[in-house]
């Protein structure tokens, strides 16, 4: 499958949610924090599979501009031929976005989604690699990614791309107390002393 990734203007958000972000939860990771802070993920089956849809939880891309100044964000679309098969959003230098920790040398992979029919064909990798290049070219030394222990495929994806879990937050989501927040970091370059 030939994949082309292009950067798009913020106006693409009207079409962004056309790529489904929903996935089926059949297994979850139990998070084990070992001595020295090393995190180990142990998969286990859930008794009853269910669907998870972040857009359906009020996280729709159409609402991002209401919550944040998107001037330092990038929006990428992945195409196979004329068909859009994936999208990604990356944020940096956005003071009202707490996940950026007030740092100017940190980028956040805010969202990544691949059309169900195109999953496991390299679309996510192409989008992730583009996000890494974009962040690096803007002086960022780390790329941060948030996911949850119920998103096993995403956890495996980030681990395969060299991301490391640095923060584990059980019960980080009051409406979803059974989910554990996992914050992954990908090192992009040397950290400056001013960072």
- Report the alpha-carbon distance of residue 27 to residue 49 in Å, rounded: 8
- Report the alpha-carbon distance of residue 86 to residue 114 in Å, rounded: 4
CATH topology of domain 4-187: Aminopeptidase (3.40.630)
Name the strand (E) or helix (H) holding 148.
strand 142-148
pTM of the model: 0.92
Strand order through the sheet with 83-92: 4-8, 73-80, 83-92, 106-114, 142-148, 180-187, 164-170
Tokens of 189: 């370059």
Backbone phi and psi for residue 103, each to the nearest 5 degrees, phi listed first: -90, 145
When pLDDT is cut at 50, 70 and 90, the band that residue 170 belongs to is very high
Q: What is the mean pLDDT of residues 9-19?
A: 90
Q: Where are the alpha helices (DSSP H) in 5-151?
A: 13-16, 64-67, 123-137
Q: What is the mean pLDDT of residues 158-180?
A: 94
Q: Domains of the chain: which residue ranges?
A: 4-187
């Amino acid at each position: 499958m030939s994949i082309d990734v292009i950067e798009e203007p913020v106006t693409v958000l009207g079409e962004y949610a056309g790529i489904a972000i929903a996935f089926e939860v059949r297994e979850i990771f139990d998070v084990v924090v070992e001595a020295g802070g090393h995190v180990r993920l142990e998969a286990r089956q859930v008794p009853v599979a269910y669907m998870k849809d972040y857009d359906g939880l009020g996280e729709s891309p159409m609402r991002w501009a209401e919550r944040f100044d998107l001037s330092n964000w990038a929006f990428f679309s992945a195409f196979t031929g004329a068909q859009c098969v994936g999208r990604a959003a990356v944020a940096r230098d956005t003071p009202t976005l707490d996940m950026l920790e007030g740092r100017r040398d940190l980028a956040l992979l805010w969202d990544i989604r691949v059309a169900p029919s195109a999953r496991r064909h390299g679309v996510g990798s192409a989008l992730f690699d583009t996000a890494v290049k974009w962040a690096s070219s803007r002086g960022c030394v780390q790329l941060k990614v948030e996911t949850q222990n119920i998103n096993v495929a995403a956890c495996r994806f980030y681990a395969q791309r060299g991301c490391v879990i640095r923060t584990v937050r059980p019960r980080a989501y009051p409406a979803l107390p059974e989910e554990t927040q996992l914050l992954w970091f990908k090192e992009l370059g040397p950290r400056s002393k001013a960072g």
